[in-house]
Amino acid sequence: MPRPIEVSNLSVGYAGVQALENVSFGVDQGEFLGIIGPNGAGKSTLFACMLGLNTQYTGTVRVFGQNIHRSKGPLKKIGYVPQMMHFERNFPVTVREVIQLGMWHGVQEERVDEVMRELWIHELADRRIGELSGGQQQRVFIAKAMVNDPKMLILDEPVTGVDQASMSLFYGILKDLNSNHGITIMWSSHDLDAIKMMSSHVACLNRTLYFHGAAKEFFADEKLAQIMCQCTDPSECMEHNPGIAEPPPIRNEAS
């Protein structure tokens, strides 16, 4: 079984802005990888490349062993929950219809009910999506991503604007999907505590990859983690924090 994700020497430039530079890393089956980095670090851009939404890059991106530049087939194994849901608030679709939209041909209709029960939204099945709270909508979109039984989930800042209670429920669900169903998860978040609590691995991105490795290792030095997550230029931050002698080594499992 090939690795779910294998990225090497990925660079992306938008007119004038270098969004990603020489990023290389891999994700193993069953991993729970948290991506951190400040606004504009390139997290969404990285996801876009992995999902075939952005094809203007150099380097290679392999999804389940296949180069997605050539074949979009492997994307069928991925469930994706985007950073922002920008649908019309009064879009006339019910929760059930939204989940059905994501369904591949051949997936049984019963699966929709099953996935709604798993995510505690079965009672909302016939409500309009726009009438739900942010946290409820979030769960609907995860249900939609889960309906085809993906091997991997990609979630871009999934807890923005979600209250504490929904967040705990949401984290519980993710944890369960990862540990009990063996689903590989890759997600981005600005919440360091959540990343620490949830992820088995951490990647710290800010145009280039500053760190990629086990979460334990990353959080061994709390202060380092704080800085890496908040500064726009980590090496600059180091100078203002004499407690840390030198920038951490760039760890790169893929290369």
By beta-carbon proximity to ligand ATP, the closer residue of 43 and 201 is 43
**Residue 41 binding: pick among ligand ATP, other proteins, Mg ion, none (C-beta 5-8 Å cut-off by kind):** ligand ATP
| Residue among 17, 85, 101, 197 that touches ligand ATP (CB under 6 A) | 17
Q: Report how far residue 188's alpha carbon sits from residue 202's, in angstroms, rounded to the nearest whole number.
A: 10
**Residue 17 binding: pick among Mg ion, other proteins, ligand ATP, none (C-beta 5-8 Å cut-off by kind):** ligand ATP
Q: Does residue 39 belong to the site contacting ligand ATP (CB under 6 A)? A: yes
CB of 10 to ligand ATP, least distance (A): 12
Q: Does residue 137 belong to the site contacting Mg ion (CB under 5 A)? A: no
**Residue 39 binding: pick among Mg ion, ligand ATP, other proteins, none (C-beta 5-8 Å cut-off by kind):** ligand ATP
The 3 state secondary structure assigned to the chain is CCCCEEEEEEEEEECCEEEEEEEEEEECCCCEEEEECCCCCCHHHHHHHHCCCCCCEEEEEEECCEECCCCCHHHHHEEEECCCCCCCCCCCCEHHHHHHHCCCCCCCCHHHHHHHHHCCCHHHCCCEHHHCCHHHHHHHHHHHHHCCCCCEEEEECCCCCCCHHHHHHHHHHHHHHHHHHCCEEEEECCCHHHHHHHCCEEEEEECEEEEEEEHHHHHCCHHHHHHHHHCCCHHHHHHHCCCCCCCCCCCCCCC
AA identity, residue 221:
D
Q: Does residue 45 belong to the site contacting Mg ion (CB under 5 A)? A: no
Site for ligand ATP in 81-110 (CB under 6 A): 83
Per CB under 6 A, the segment of 11-19, 104-112, 120-128, 139-147 that binds ligand ATP is 11-19
Q: Does residue 44 belong to the site contacting Mg ion (CB under 5 A)? A: yes
Between helix 134-146 and helix 164-181 the angle, nearest 10°, is 20
Applying CB under 8 A, the residues found at the interface with other proteins are: 51-53, 72, 75-76, 78, 80, 82, 85-88, 90-94, 96-98, 101-102, 126-128, 131, 144
| Residue among 2, 14, 109, 133 that touches ligand ATP (CB under 6 A) | 14
| Residue among 43, 96, 139, 212 that touches ligand ATP (CB under 6 A) | 43
By beta-carbon proximity to ligand ATP, the closer residue of 43 and 144 is 43
Residues that bind Mg ion in the complex, under the rule CB under 5 A: 43-44, 83
